[in-house]
Amino acid sequence: MVEECSHIRANGQKCRRLPKRGQKYCAAHHPSRRRPRRAFEEDQAFHNAMFAFVDRLRAMTLEDLLYAVCDAINDLHFVVDRHCSRRHRAFFHRASTALTITAERITEDRLAQTRRAPVPPRPPATPATPPFSLTPEQRAGAQSALEALTASPNLSPEQLIEICDRMLSTLEPNQSTTSTLSSNR
């Protein structure tokens, strides 16, 4: 009689695989066999290394980031070549090549733009002069109108027109100036 594995599955069925001679369990259920670690069981050092890697990626320029992605994909090369079908290897190599060409094209375009666009000469510096000067009376009138605007944010259109007319009249007291707000209503 052939001995079967003694492992009982969660659904109550017995494992039907054959263990080695003299063993009670098959290779998959042998107690000394170490089970693979699940993704959420990684240690804190692994998580710290991944967070540091993310921070480095975020600090990179676009070109450097694309080349880092190319390097990361190339690190998977041996896994894909060993464990994937010919069709899946072709998909992987096409994606890797497309990403590398994209990184090179962006770098070339940025270099070409910097070569084409010469830095325009700066105009000579001129001292800043105010467009007009205010008398102390005009400055006080404009300040009081500005305070009235900031004091009450929910003004009616008539109140707003009155404040704008007051500001304009303080800037040009000799002319009869009115705001265009009343003509636009």
pLDDT in tens, 9-67: 878 888 888 888 888 888 877 777 656 656 566 678 888 888 898 888 888 888 888 88
> Domain boundaries in the chain?
1-30, 60-115, 136-184
pTM of the predicted protein model: 0.39
The answer for residues whose C-beta is within 8 angstroms of residue 27's C-beta and 6 or more apart is 17, 19, 20, 33
pLDDT reading at 107 higher than 80: yes
Question: What's the sign of the alpha-carbon dihedral 130, 134, 140, 142?
Answer: negative
Q: Round to whole Å and give the CA distance between 28 and 4.
A: 13
Most confident of 19-28, 124-133, 136-145, 169-178: 19-28
CB 178 within 8 A of CB 165: yes
pLDDT at res. 88: 87
Under 8 Å between Cβ of 33 and 27? yes
> Cα(141)–Cα(146) distance, rounded to whole angstroms?
9
For residue range 151-180, list pLDDT tens digits in order: 766 767 777 777 777 767 666 655 554 545
Specify the pLDDT at position 41. 65
Q: In whole angstroms, what is the distance from residue 6 CA to residue 144 CA?
A: 93
pLDDT at 25: 84
C-alpha 73/C-alpha 54 separation (Å) is 16
